[in-house]
């Protein structure tokens, strides 16, 4: 499922909203989430999961062509940990109260 298919699906369930508004809302949500991670703030959505940053320490890489060593600085990478409800639903464990 792509972003535009997700927008169509949400618009079909939120019929009181104009398609354009749903489209803008989904883009705003994703931008808000990206912006949050880009400033080092984690995201916590109960029943869905949490997004945080993991640190990758600096290392010595190599230029694959010349074999020459290259110093690579440390960096952060986004990490997602699925929440309990998502884990169970994806694994076909149907639980009450979802």
Partner 1 sequence: MALTKADMAERLFEEVGLNKREAKELVECFFEEIRTALEEGTSVKLSGFGNFDLRDKSERPGRNPKTGEEIPISARRVVTFRPGQKLKSRVEAYAGSSEQ
Contact residues for partner 1, defined by CB under 8 A: 1-3, 6, 9-10, 13-14, 16-17, 21-22, 24-26, 28-30, 32-34, 36-45, 47-55, 75-80, 82, 85-87, 89-92
Alpha-carbon separation of residue 36 from 7, 26, 31, 42, 85 (angstroms): 22, 15, 8, 7, 23
Torsion of CA 27, 45, 10, 95, to 10 degrees: 160
Least distance (Å) between residue 70 CB and partner 1: 16
Least distance (Å) between residue 34 CB and partner 1: 5
């Amino acid at each position: 499922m792509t972003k535009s298919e997700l927008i169509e699906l949400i618009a079909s369930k939120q019929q009181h909203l104009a398609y354009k508004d749903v489209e803008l809302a989904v883009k705003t949500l994703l931008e808000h989430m990206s912006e949050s991670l880009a400033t080092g703030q984690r995201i916590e959505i109960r029943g869905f999961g949490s997004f945080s940053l993991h640190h990758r320490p600096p290392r010595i890489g190599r230029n694959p062509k010349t074999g020459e060593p290259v110093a690579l600085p440390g960096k952060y990478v986004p990490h997602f940990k699925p929440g309990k409800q998502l884990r169970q639903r994806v694994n076909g464990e149907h639980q009450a109260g979802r």
